[in-house]
Structure 1
């Protein structure tokens, strides 16, 4: 597939997009998985083919299928959704490569802490009016003030997977 993305404004299709996380807990014996149901985003493709934009997650929409754990993740030990209701990935530069990958450089903001984040996404579907990108990347939660770790139960890094579908905004 050769990607030819038109310049202009693009909107995230929240219904056809998904963002999930997974992290080892209980001393590496259990993998906790969760999904964010509240996701929005937009972007703009420039005349030179690069893109900028944002993807915003509603922190309170994280669902691990365990109510008590979700309440803890939403609370002050982790995402602190009362004070920091969103997680934001701001794309500063994204360029499509000949192999249908997209090199993305941006800034991830979690719990009010911003850090640079590079991601390589794969174009899994594209047309004149829609594009779908999939990616997987690693985040060190401690870099964002998410250091709670009772009895050393939480180890390692968090894996983020995403499928993001953008549709072209009519001119």
Structure 2
């Protein structure tokens, strides 16, 4: 079901019948990217939201999906100014040299009752392959994608953690709504 309560078309059906062919753009007002981690040796959850996100995608008539989701690393907001300053600094995201976190999608296949999204993730200048399962639906000229993506920040060289208090394992939660361009 879509948020409006209307049944959504399974995305894979819409891909194969050509319904989704064309260009798509991220609806910034209805989309969000969140970061979740654990601190104090796993005892305290830490939540943040990226306030600046952009994205687009293309679906071919044959159902091939490509796209990009770009997050301004400096837009992280954990509701703790000191933590946010550290995250933006050269110790973690190094926004002066690497202002964006980018997810590039190069495919989508059926998986586990939803879709498996494949592509790459670039953080702080390091690019790694990325594959995750997501729930997806299409309705009334929009496509929604919801996923929780596990990421080990050490894969991107982000190992700074005073006293090893912060977990290296993080979850990126994505709620993306795309509309026709």
TM-score by length of 1: 0.92
Give the match for residue 72 of structure 2: 58
* Corresponding position: 1:135 with 2:147: yes
Q: Give the Å deviation of 1:50.
A: 2.2
> Matched residues in 1 for 2:127 and 2:111: separation?
27
> Matched residues in 2 for 1:97 and 1:77: separation?
37
What secondary structure, in the 3-state scheme, does the structure 2 residue paired with 1:60 have?
A: helix
Q: Map 1:15-164 onto structure 2 (within 5 A).
A: 15-95=29-109, 99=113, 101-123=114-136, 125-164=137-176
Equivalences, count: 167
Q: Give the Å deviation of 1:34.
A: 0.1
Contact 1:49–1:95 at 8 Å: present in 2 too?
no
> Matched residues in 1 for 2:131 and 2:111: separation?
15
Q: Give the Å deviation of 1:95.
A: 3.2
What secondary structure, in the 3-state scheme, does the structure 2 residue paired with 1:136 have?
A: strand
**Structure 1 ranges of 4+ moved more than 6 A:** none
Q: Give the Å deviation of 1:97.
A: 5.9
Structure 1 spans left out of the alignment, 5+ residues: none
With over 3 angstroms needed to count, the CA separation of the structure-2 counterparts of 1:156 and 1:72, relative to structure 1, is closer
**Cα deviation code 1:51-84 (max 9, x no counterpart):** 0010000000000000011000000010000000
Q: Give the Å deviation of 1:98.
A: 9.4
Contact 2:111–2:133 at 8 Å: present in 1 too?
no
Q: Give the Å deviation of 1:149.
A: 1.6
Q: Give the Å deviation of 1:91.
A: 0.3
With over 3 angstroms needed to count, the CA separation of the structure-2 counterparts of 1:126 and 1:63, relative to structure 1, is same
